[in-house]
Amino acid sequence: MRIAKLSGAMFSIAIIAGALGYQFNHQSHTLLMASDVAINEVADKKHPPPNALQRYALDAWQSKFIAHALAGGLLWFKGHDHLVAVRDFTGGVRLDPDLITASSLEIIAKAGSMVETSSVFTEPQKQIIDKELREIVLEPDKYPEIVFRSTSVTGNAAANNQFDLKIAGDLTLHGVTRAITIPAKVIVTGNDLRAQGEFSIDRSDFKVKATSAFHGLVRIRDRVKFEFDIVGHRL
């Protein structure tokens, strides 16, 4: 009887030990699986899929943004085109190669940073033009920012990491907002994005003056063409 009781007790202990072992192994396996998932999530953040939505910050120092205004001025400015550069701007690009319509663009430029850059003018002449740009044409004290925010992006991949896009959005200039469309060629190289293109606006649509007849030093025609070569760095 004693042997039977001992055997029964040992059998019970074996069952309990087996159950505990199973639970331990099961929990360990579960913890290992959870650890693998966590490691994979960290790896995904460090190395996202190549075609996932990517964000880029614009770099004004490596970019060019020029307003090309055909001249109609008086005195020694007559016959010369104005090339007014935007020196200071910020913004960002969101680009999804798999879903172009999920992409977007925002640019915020400082109106006071726009200066004459054409080589046909001397430095004293440029200073006079810049003064009139600030005081009469752009009025940055009243309207410090020029803003473009996209509302839709369409287009397609032209080649590997190259895209032909049409970026529709709202441009706010001199306190007036108008809808415009900007065609752009976008190239992605490593962690850098480059967007090139040009678009035109009518100066009168934004109530931008061409200076008064009294000054007449920045007389420009109604149509102004913008050319851009913008660089962005991946965040």
Residue-wise DSSP of 165-224: EEEEEEEEETTEEEEEEEEEEEEEETTEEEEEEEEEEEGGGGT-----TTT-SS-EEEEE
Rg (C-alpha) for the chain, rounded Å, is 31
Collapsing DSSP states into helix, strand and coil, what is residue 101?
helix
Same domain, 203 and 181: yes
65 plus 95 within the same structural domain:
yes
Half-sphere exposure of 210 (CA within 13 A, CB side): 20
From CA 145, how far away is CA 225, in angstroms rounded? 19
- CATH code, 59: 2.40.128.110
Same domain, 101 and 212: yes
Where is the domain boundary, 32, 47, 62? 47
**Is the domain of 188 the same as that of 74?**
yes
- Residue 235 · residue 57 · CB < 8 Å: yes
Structure tokens at 209: 């003056």
Looking at the structure, do residues 159 and 199 belong to the same domain, yes or no? yes
Query: Could you tell me where the DSSP H helices lie in the chain?
Result: 2-46, 123-132
Residues 42 and 68 in one domain: no
What is the sign, positive or negative, of the torsion defined by CA atoms of 100, 234, 187, 112? positive
How far apart are alpha carbons 71 and 82 in whole angstroms?
6
pLDDT means per 10 residues, the chain with 235 residues, are 46 44 47 44 48 90 90 53 92 95 96 93 88 88 97 93 97 97 97 96 87 59 89 97
Q: Which two tokens stand for residue 91?
A: 């913004």
Question: CA-to-CA distance for 162 and 182, rounded, in angstroms?
Answer: 17
If asked whether residues 114 and 201 sit together in one domain, one would say yes
125 and 21 share one domain: no
pTM for the structure as a whole: 0.73
Tokens of 204: 């009168």
Q: Which domain holds residue 42?
A: 1-47
Q: Are residues 142 and 198 in the same domain?
A: yes
Q: Residue 169: its pLDDT value, please?
A: 98
Backbone angles phi and psi of 12, in degrees to 5:
-65, -40
User: What is the model's pLDDT at position 81?
Assistant: 81
Q: Are 197 and 228 in contact (CB under 8 A)?
A: yes
What integer pLDDT is reported at residue 79 of this predicted model? 61
Pairing of strands 162-173, 176-189: antiparallel
Considering the domain architecture, whether residues 91 and 203 belong to the same structural domain is answered as: yes
Is residue 131 domain-shared with residue 33, that is, in the same domain?
A: no
Instruction: Please tell me the distance from the alpha carbon of residue 140 to that of residue 133, in angstroms, as a whole number.
Output: 9
| Same-domain pairing of 59 and 40 | no
Domain count within the chain: 2
* CB neighbours of residue 132 within 10 Å: 21
